[in-house]
Structure 1
Amino acid sequence: MPIALDPVAKPVDHLAEFGADDAPALILRDRTLTYQDLRQGIAALAAWLQAKVPQEGARVASWAAKGELTCLLPLAAARAGLVYVPINPLLKHAQVAHILADSGAVLLIGNAARLATLADDDVPEPCEVVEEQAIRAAIDRQAPGLPPSVRDPGELAALLYTSGSTGRPKGVMLSHANLWLGAVSVAHYLELEADDVVLAVLPLSFDYGQNQLLSIWRAGGCAVPLDYLTPRDVIKACARHGVTTLAAVPPLWVQLVEQPWPDEAVAAMRRLTNSGGALTVDLVTRLRALFPAARLFPMYGLTEAFRSTYLDPALVGSHPTSMGRAIPFAEVQVIGDHGGETQANEEGELVHCGPLVALGYWQDPQRTAERFRPAPPSSTYGGTAVWSGDRVRRDGEGLLYFVGRRDAMIKSAGNRISPQEVEDAARATGLVAEAVAIGVPDARLGQAVHLVVRAAPAAVDAEEALPAVLARELPNFMRPQQIHWRAAMPLNPNGKIDRAALEADLRA
């Protein structure tokens, strides 16, 4: 049975209360925590945090691999009245220093190897650095822990720093209600059950990654955190733990479908979920063939509003490129340049309204005012909405389709070109596995279309054949002026293709 859609939010640490005492909640490398262990661990860690950092609302950061502490910290910090700041373990010291300074963190928890890379001036005063092994030794699980919190669900619970395409990362302020309702919503539409096992391969500093823990715990199921080095690690973990739910971003899916999957890694799989970029028609076809019994959930989201849409798996075959419809607790509108709702198949900006909308950007009123603005008059929820900057259209059936970002559209010889349309055409040839279209400044055209691609593993003479195929498939103004071949695409810390790095490389 799907999780009940109760719209009443609670403090986020209450999400640990749903599983049966002896049911597995968290499978670590060396042991398994039951829900009773989970609750005791959160209570003990929260008590330690409150004693260490008694200031209500202080920021506590972590910079470590996936383990017991990093999984328990979001709920333990909230219970202690603190604001949790997860830092992606793939970031380097300069980015860590920025996040610590910007958030005003008073405590940084990390593993010894990472903390050793920090210089004295990377850690601002009065931030204290504590190695995670020392915390494990200091926590007394036998002593009375801190009980579940009683606080306003609208209070700030976490800062998630988005990598962004330009500038330094900015902290998105998430409330208890944002995290709680996001967990309830996802657990409901994915129809998660108490016997589900989620393989958490995505960074816990990524809203999509963190929600894997929160939504499965809302369902009373089990999470398996995994820091993988190769796609084979993911496949082995699926087989070892009988994984029923696997979430990934497109670059990881591309790598996974190129690998052989033994029957024992596929047998238990019930659902696949995707966000962080659109799936291609070819990738959808390959995933459905590889996992014939699993339901595929394409999704769209942004950190400022958590998740906006998902496509019903029953519609994936007939509408493989659609973003779907709004998830529970989200209201999605398409607002045209005229300021009103668009008609069917008319392009407009995606505007997200409702209780999943974040509180804004941490200590950045200017950028908050640019993105978080009053909801359109047609909104049922009203209040503040996230104006995404993403261009979408809604078809006659109410299904949404991504067109492109307003600031990513390529303007060439007076033509507005969607990068995704060029990328889709390149991938549809079967000659490339990944493609990124970029507008490069050009004295004659304004911007010239450049295409960065990685060849498909089985492609023959791809470098010679691709220009001719694209010449057949694309109008003159959309054809790439130049195609750049890469053995591998650069990835950002969330596992997405790093478009900003590619742009910088091409414009250098």
Structure 2
Amino acid sequence: MISINPTPQPLDHLALRGEGSASALLLREETLSYDTLNLRIGLLAHWLTINGLVHGDRVATWLPKNETTCLMPLAAARAGLVHVPINPVLKRAQVAHILADSGAKLLIANRSRLATLIEGDTPESCAVIEDDAAMAAWKAGAHSMAPSAHDPHDLAAILYTSGSTGKPKGVMLSHANMWLGAISVASYLGLAADDRTLCVLPLSFDYGQNQLLSTWAAGGAAAPLDYLMPRDVIKSCARHHITTLAAVPPLWTQLVEIEWPAEVIGTMRRLTNSGGALSPALVKQLRGIFPETRIFAMYGLTEAFRSTYLDPALIDGNPTSIGTAIPFAEILVVNDAGADAAPDEEGELVHAGPLVAQGYWQDDVRTAERFKPAPAFSVHGGMAVWSGDRVRRDAQGLLYFVGRRDAMIKSSGNRISPAEIEDAATSTGLAAEAVALGVPDPQLGQAILLLVRPAQVAQPAQLVDDLMIALKRELPAFMLPRTVELFDSFPKNPNGKIDRALLVAQIEERFA
């Protein structure tokens, strides 16, 4: 069990926290001890620097969960670089935006992904190296870089997350943000050196990346997994004697429908959930399979990593609560008058403390909208993240999610920008106007409904099919609409813009 220490260190020092000969990374082809993990982090870090990258340069990875992907967060940090992990399910348009916006100087990706890029997708200043070649080169290196002495407040990573308008924006995370996040989660989960974590979530997500970092903070072993079928998760749990499994509600919904072997249930110490609320029915199903396992419900936002967790002892009686503040976080509920909300009064969730990110990369306007001084009644003070999420706190201090203030769609653990889907639809030439909305879905949290005013096309009867075919070429699967509805016209507000609020109200009536 680790102890809480609020003094951050350079991020790459997380690899030093395990016993040298103990298992640290359980790869498909081999198991790395902590000694080997540190050696290879140093080899990769040195290779990055001899390839012309200098302090503060951005290095992007667009890969499945292989050794490079797992080591890069610490190797880039050790080399004084900034890691930009790209979700492997994204397609060329989103990748091109991230590379251009971040100013990445190097992209490492596998052959199949690189083959999808076209001329202009990678900036001229960005070198591109295929992963097999890169891995062969850095593993053959003769020099391993020693642990760094970087300022913990230096930038260590840029994680791209969707906004309610426009393209994805890069959240800037320092060594301290990520170090304290790892220590915080390892502490409240009670992780220990004999724990084994199955890492099924994308390592481009803060929640996914923390699977690795919090496990290493406790000196445990992490097993990365890219699964095709839910049953693969159970098989990997059995193979690696997994004690800790993190997932999002859609995956839990699939996993509770499969039979779990008794030996897998017996080794599982904790289940963790974020990226959407667990329903009371799903909590009951999980409890039926794992009667002795601790179930952690959590809430987070990339701009502050993680905000709250619910004590597992309370989840059966309070299955819809998002709990209380995690270590190092101060969570405030600010009512519409700007004051501390009273018990059961709705307000905006505001996160203050050292987990707050450094803002959005090269975007002062959107940074100023979300990152603002903490309210006067904050104990910590300083800069805070004003989440836009509406919550309430009950008389016992437990928080409950009420809803989002903005138009973001939350589906299968992904934050999705309606504007990205709308732009993709109108760019096909098949939609004159488009509005993307999230509608309730028991498995996904929200499914995507796309409302379309058709353009003048030669074969209008085929418009919906043609539109879906075009969108599949441009958008990852999690951003594709489940349903497309055609409108002759959209209601407009006094400014002549589409009256999104009215459309939302009309759609909500269907699900009331």
The alpha-carbon deviation at position 132 of structure 1 amounts to: 1.4
Q: Equivalent residue for 2:180?
A: 181
Residue type of the alignment partner of 1:12 = L
The alpha-carbon deviation at position 264 of structure 1 amounts to: 2.7
Q: Equivalent residue for 2:346?
A: 347
| C-alpha distance 349-493 of structure 1, shift in aligned 2 (>3 A) | farther
State how 1:453-472 maps to structure 2 within 5 Å.
none
Equivalent-residue separation in structure 2 for 1:336 and 1:16 (angstroms): 42
Structure 2 unaligned blocks of 5 or more:
410-436, 452-471, 488-512
Q: Is the 8 A contact 2:92 2:117 kept in 1?
A: yes
Equivalent-residue separation in structure 1 for 2:348 and 2:135 (angstroms): 48
State how 1:242-253 maps to structure 2 within 5 Å.
242-253=241-252
Equivalent-residue separation in structure 2 for 1:434 and 1:139 (angstroms): 40
State how 1:229-308 maps to structure 2 within 5 Å.
229-308=228-307
The SS at the match of 1:121 is coil
Q: Is the 8 A contact 1:305 1:386 kept in 2?
A: yes
Q: Equivalent residue for 2:509?
A: none
| C-alpha distance 438-210 of structure 1, shift in aligned 2 (>3 A) | closer
Residues 458-508 of structure 1 deviation map (CA, whole Å, 9 limit, x = unaligned): xxxxxxxxxxxxxxxxxxxxxxxxxxxxxxxx9x9999x75x8458x3476
Equivalent-residue separation in structure 1 for 2:445 and 2:376 (angstroms): 39
Q: Is the 8 A contact 1:88 1:493 kept in 2?
A: no
Q: Is the 8 A contact 1:239 1:266 kept in 2?
A: no
Say if 2:110 is the partner of 1:132. Answer: no
The alpha-carbon deviation at position 105 of structure 1 amounts to: 0.3
The alpha-carbon deviation at position 144 of structure 1 amounts to: 3.1
Equivalent-residue separation in structure 2 for 1:239 and 1:164 (angstroms): 38
Q: Equivalent residue for 1:21?
A: 20
The alpha-carbon deviation at position 139 of structure 1 amounts to: 2.0
The SS at the match of 1:360 is coil
Q: Equivalent residue for 1:472?
A: none
Residues 173-201 of structure 1 deviation map (CA, whole Å, 9 limit, x = unaligned): 00000000000000000000101000000
Say if 2:390 is the partner of 1:391. Answer: yes
State how 1:144-155 maps to structure 2 within 5 Å.
144-155=143-154
The SS at the match of 1:202 is coil
Q: Equivalent residue for 1:314?
A: 313
Say if 2:329 is the partner of 1:330. Answer: yes
Residue type of the alignment partner of 2:118 = A
| C-alpha distance 392-409 of structure 1, shift in aligned 2 (>3 A) | farther
Q: Equivalent residue for 2:508?
A: none
Equivalent-residue separation in structure 2 for 1:348 and 1:201 (angstroms): 34
Residue type of the alignment partner of 2:63 = A
Say if 2:209 is the partner of 1:204. Answer: no
The alpha-carbon deviation at position 56 of structure 1 amounts to: 1.2
Equivalent-residue separation in structure 2 for 1:124 and 1:144 (angstroms): 30
The alpha-carbon deviation at position 141 of structure 1 amounts to: 5.6
Q: Is the 8 A contact 1:11 1:149 kept in 2?
A: yes
Equivalent-residue separation in structure 2 for 1:154 and 1:409 (angstroms): 30
Q: Is the 8 A contact 2:184 2:327 kept in 1?
A: yes
Equivalent-residue separation in structure 2 for 1:52 and 1:317 (angstroms): 53
Q: Is the 8 A contact 2:164 2:408 kept in 1?
A: no
Q: Equivalent residue for 2:49?
A: 50
The SS at the match of 1:109 is strand
Equivalent-residue separation in structure 2 for 1:258 and 1:347 (angstroms): 36
The alpha-carbon deviation at position 320 of structure 1 amounts to: 0.8
The alpha-carbon deviation at position 318 of structure 1 amounts to: 1.1
Q: Equivalent residue for 1:99?
A: 98
The SS at the match of 1:160 is strand
Q: Equivalent residue for 1:87?
A: 86
Residue type of the alignment partner of 1:139 = W
Q: Is the 8 A contact 1:202 1:494 kept in 2?
A: no
Equivalent-residue separation in structure 1 for 2:182 and 2:282 (angstroms): 27
Q: Equivalent residue for 1:59?
A: 58
Q: How many residues are treated as equivalent by the alignment? A: 440
Equivalent-residue separation in structure 2 for 1:77 and 1:409 (angstroms): 31
Equivalent-residue separation in structure 1 for 2:365 and 2:93 (angstroms): 24
- The TM-score, its normalising length taken from structure 2, stands at 0.82
Q: Equivalent residue for 2:501?
A: none
Structure 1 unaligned blocks of 5 or more:
411-418, 428-432, 442-489
Equivalent-residue separation in structure 1 for 2:140 and 2:164 (angstroms): 43
Equivalent-residue separation in structure 1 for 2:85 and 2:36 (angstroms): 22
Equivalent-residue separation in structure 2 for 1:328 and 1:436 (angstroms): 30
Residues 405-432 of structure 1 deviation map (CA, whole Å, 9 limit, x = unaligned): 012599xxxxxxxx99x95xx85xxxxx
| C-alpha distance 239-280 of structure 1, shift in aligned 2 (>3 A) | same
| C-alpha distance 122-435 of structure 1, shift in aligned 2 (>3 A) | closer
Q: Equivalent residue for 1:400?
A: 399
| C-alpha distance 234-493 of structure 1, shift in aligned 2 (>3 A) | farther
Equivalent-residue separation in structure 2 for 1:211 and 1:229 (angstroms): 22
Q: Equivalent residue for 1:222?
A: 221
The SS at the match of 1:157 is strand
The SS at the match of 2:170 is strand
| C-alpha distance 141-218 of structure 1, shift in aligned 2 (>3 A) | farther
Residue type of the alignment partner of 1:71 = C
| C-alpha distance 217-347 of structure 1, shift in aligned 2 (>3 A) | same
| C-alpha distance 170-506 of structure 1, shift in aligned 2 (>3 A) | farther
| C-alpha distance 206-494 of structure 1, shift in aligned 2 (>3 A) | farther
Q: Is the 8 A contact 2:58 2:106 kept in 1?
A: yes
Q: Is the 8 A contact 1:41 1:141 kept in 2?
A: no
Equivalent-residue separation in structure 2 for 1:162 and 1:409 (angstroms): 11
Equivalent-residue separation in structure 2 for 1:193 and 1:71 (angstroms): 20
Q: Equivalent residue for 1:362?
A: 361
Equivalent-residue separation in structure 2 for 1:440 and 1:133 (angstroms): 40
Residues 11-69 of structure 1 deviation map (CA, whole Å, 9 limit, x = unaligned): 10000001111111001111111111100000110000111133210000000110111
Q: Is the 8 A contact 2:82 2:158 kept in 1?
A: yes
Q: Equivalent residue for 1:414?
A: none
Residue type of the alignment partner of 1:331 = E
Equivalent-residue separation in structure 1 for 2:265 and 2:476 (angstroms): 25
Q: Is the 8 A contact 1:63 1:86 kept in 2?
A: yes
Residue type of the alignment partner of 1:273 = T
Residue type of the alignment partner of 1:29 = R
| C-alpha distance 143-89 of structure 1, shift in aligned 2 (>3 A) | same
The alpha-carbon deviation at position 303 of structure 1 amounts to: 0.1
Equivalent-residue separation in structure 2 for 1:290 and 1:43 (angstroms): 42
| C-alpha distance 434-69 of structure 1, shift in aligned 2 (>3 A) | closer
Q: Tell me the percent identity.
A: 63
